[in-house]
Amino acid sequence: MAETTGLFVSFEGGEGAGKSTQIRRLADRLRGLGHEVLVTREPGGSPGAEAVRHVLLSGAAEMFGTRMEAILFAAARNDHVEEVIRPALMRGVIVLCDRFMDSSRVYQGVTGNLAPEFIEALQRVAVDGVVPDCTLILDIPAAIGLERARKRALPTAAGPDRFEKEEMQTHEKRREAFLDIAARDPDRCHVVDARRSEDDIAGEIADIIDERLAREADMPAARPEAAR
Ligand code: TMP
């Protein structure tokens, strides 16, 4: 099969980091420059994966344990990859995905206490070679991110209760885990400080993607992964 010419960008990060806003802004910018862009998300992004999203996010699978949930995330991811992402990359589209494999590493692996070997085995099957060219990790301290998310949900809510404080520790652990992934895979991952203004963040992301697109244009043979 011919190699792909698209670009696969995933967005990762905790609550209230502003992923959706930044994905929308980047998509608008890239479309304005004449690129074909597909915005998608996980869990979900294909009809099969959206059905699994409902099962996962409603909490219906929670009682069956974290392993079950991890396998369902992987099943959804594989459907999404095969039905949507790989075909789009083959057509030369820029794919912007709200969460991808790193979320499983962090949520099911680190804070779900599943063994890294188990998570990595699932990932190999799920992504089948379709690994993001670039991952933007929108980094925000858990306290700030949760506060933003809480304001968005309920403008007049009081400060965090005991449960929310416990949650904060979990969110901080996830933040550390995303930073750890970035440190171990610096060519793919970029940590973006999400405490700044929307415009500043969008500017940095634009620079990162422009540089990445220029690199792809210089080395079209460098990304054969999704071309199977
Ligand atoms: P979101 O639409 O707010 O990003 O919600 C998706 C939720 O699913 C979020 O809490 C993170 C979680 N998630 C996982 O636990 N594992 C995964 O692999 C993915 C993609 C998401």
Domains and their CATH numbers in the chain: 7-218 (3.40.50.300)
Reported in sequence order, the residue ranges of the chain that DSSP labels E, i.e. its strands, are: 7-13, 37-41, 94-98, 134-139, 189-193
Q: What is the pLDDT of residues 123-164, one digit of tens each?
A: 999 999 999 999 999 999 999 998 888 887 765 555 555 455
Quick one: which of 96, 57, 80, 88 has its CA closest to 208? 96
CA 219 – CA 213 distance, rounded (Å)? 10
Cα(81) to centroid(ligand 1), Å = 16
State which ligand 1 atom lies nearest to the alpha carbon of 100: 20
Ligand 1 binding site (Cβ under 6 Å of any ligand atom): 42-43, 73, 99, 103-104, 107-108
Cα(14) to centroid(ligand 1), Å = 9
Average pLDDT over residues 3-12: 88
Cα(42) to centroid(ligand 1), Å = 7
State which ligand 1 atom lies nearest to the alpha carbon of 42: 20
Phi/psi for 97 (5° steps) reads -115, 125
State which ligand 1 atom lies nearest to the alpha carbon of 56: 8
* Closest residue to atom 18 of ligand 1, CA basis: 104
- Per-residue model confidence (pLDDT) at position 148: 87
Cα(43) to centroid(ligand 1), Å = 6
Residue 226 has pLDDT above 60, yes or no: no
Residue 181 has pLDDT above 90, yes or no: yes
- Per-residue model confidence (pLDDT) at position 153: 75
* Closest residue to atom 15 of ligand 1, CA basis: 107
Residue 31 has pLDDT above 60, yes or no: yes
CA 74 – CA 68 distance, rounded (Å)? 10
State which ligand 1 atom lies nearest to the alpha carbon of 101: 18
CA 179 – CA 193 distance, rounded (Å)? 11
